[in-house]
Amino acid sequence: MTTIKLYNTRTRSKEVFTPIDPDNVRMYVCGPTVYDRAHLGNARPVLVFDTLYRLLRHVYGPDQVTYVRNFTDVDDKINATALARKEAGATGTLEELVQERSDETIRWYHDDMKALGALRPNKEPRATEFIPQMVAMIEGLIAKGHAYEAEGHVLFAVESYSDYGTLSGRTVDDMIAGSRVEVAPYKRNPMDFVLWKPSTEELPGWDSPWGRGRPGWHIECSAMAFELLGETFDIHGGGNDLMFPHHENEIAQSRCAHPSGDFAKVWMHNEMLQVEGKKMSKSLGNFFTVRDLLDQGIPGEVIRFVMLSTHYRKPMDWTEKKRDEAKATLDHFLSVVAGKPPTEVAEGVLEALAEDLNTHKAIQVLHRLAREKDAGALRASLQLLGFNLATLKSGWVDPARYAVLDRLEERLVRLRDQAMQTKDFSHVDTLKAALVDAGVEVRMSKAGVELVPGPGFDAATLERLT
């Protein structure tokens, strides 16, 4: 069986992944708050953990992996959106409009992530479906002395959990100094966080021992993970922006509620996304949703390819250049596999993914497979990485346009072999320059030669070179 190694944020080291139960590998990933369309940054953790899900299914079997990703449908932003609709004349109670907005946004999310080739998790719980479990967990925390009621709120007492800050590597004093914490007179400690808070009659709310209210954000994931995966499960994932306070708080309340468990054994965090080297921001005019790109005619597979080209623990920079290069590369790959059935996933691809999900290295192996014209392994490897070849094949690739590239690739190989003997590389350089002028990226290495059409690919010019 393939040995998988994963970087564990908790231990700050790469570890051999040994599931608690190989017949039931369990993973929880924090999902979206459903108040609007998913932006491009939201797509990165989806694609990172979708790739991990595919790897786990490949290694342990599709029926031996349970993947849970939640929807947060209790949130002030959702309430604000619903209130704006009501003020604009929408019919129905505010609670009904909140439900309507959540349903609508979840449909959008499913459609957009499907377009990126992401598999649906086994379970997609909504926070509103697990309110009784949250109330029960909060009651248990109060009984154990880890939480307290104050002015209609219930708060977790951070000082009651001695390991608080271990995941993010911060002390409580550092956290207070370096973060914005809600200053409230009813808090015993500025870092104490809300487990339950009051709700008005108009806003969504539920009856509880502490009055009508709604849960805090952090308790939602703890309760859902416990109910669906148990006291201890294998992997917890999300963006590194969630490490503190969300994941830190999850660990504290989960371990205090269930002291015999370990919550998550492995913690994985993906780095953030930038656009053209800058943080995505509406004020900079570089903010866009996944749907914006899809509506511009950019295939979801291209978005996926750009995302996977960077290792998940490195910042990912979305650029138009990368987008165009990804389109051309996938175009080339598809010309190689056209009409050919899949065989086995290339060992190099599997090894790269098993080495802390090194998708960048896996894509380098795909390039080698394309150079070697190993269509069966290339197709199987692309499928493992989540690329929907049937979608792209329809009207995107014309295999005939690559016949000229194949001929020129063979010619360049012959010229390079001759030059290695004569030490005269002038003919190689001349042909290479002509190829570049015709919009072809020339990749030459010890492994061989690969010609990849770029954004300015001009097949007519290439015909004149043959």
Distance of alpha carbon 251 from alpha carbon 166, whole angstroms:
10
- Which residue in 380, 418, 403 sits closest to 453, CA to CA? 403
- The secondary element (H helix, E strand) that includes residue 273 is strand 273-275
Distance of alpha carbon 302 from alpha carbon 116, whole angstroms:
8
Structure tokens given for 457: 């690919």
Omega within 30 of 0 (cis) for the link into 245: yes
Q: Tell me whether strands 153-156 and 193-198 are parallel, antiparallel or unpaired.
A: antiparallel
Q: Tell me whether strands 273-275 and 147-150 are parallel, antiparallel or unpaired.
A: unpaired
- Which residue in 462, 445, 446 sits closest to 454, CA to CA? 462
3-state DSSP helix/strand/coil % of the chain, to nearest 5: 50, 15, 35
- Which residue in 225, 235, 303, 220 sits closest to 269, CA to CA? 235
- Name residue 452's amino acid: V
Give the CA angle between residues 145, 148, 154 to the nearest 5°.
135
Question: Are 359 and 51 contacting, i.e. CB atoms less than 8 angstroms apart?
Answer: yes
Locus of tokens 């914006």? 292
Distance of alpha carbon 120 from alpha carbon 50, whole angstroms:
9
- Is 221 labeled as ligand-binding? yes
Question: Are 101 and 35 contacting, i.e. CB atoms less than 8 angstroms apart?
Answer: yes
Distance of alpha carbon 362 from alpha carbon 356, whole angstroms:
11
Distance of alpha carbon 237 from alpha carbon 220, whole angstroms:
15
- Is 246 labeled as ligand-binding? yes
Distance of alpha carbon 315 from alpha carbon 310, whole angstroms:
8
Q: How many CA atoms lie within 13 A of 457 on its CB side?
A: 20
Q: Where are the alpha helices (DSSP H) in 309-402?
A: 320-337, 347-354, 359-371, 375-384, 389-393
Q: In 3-state terms, what secondary structure has residue 1?
A: coil
Which residues does the annotation place in the binding site for Zn(2+)? Answer: 30, 221, 246, 250
Which residues does the annotation place in the binding site for ATP? Answer: 282
Which residues does the annotation place in the binding site? Answer: 30, 221, 246, 250, 282
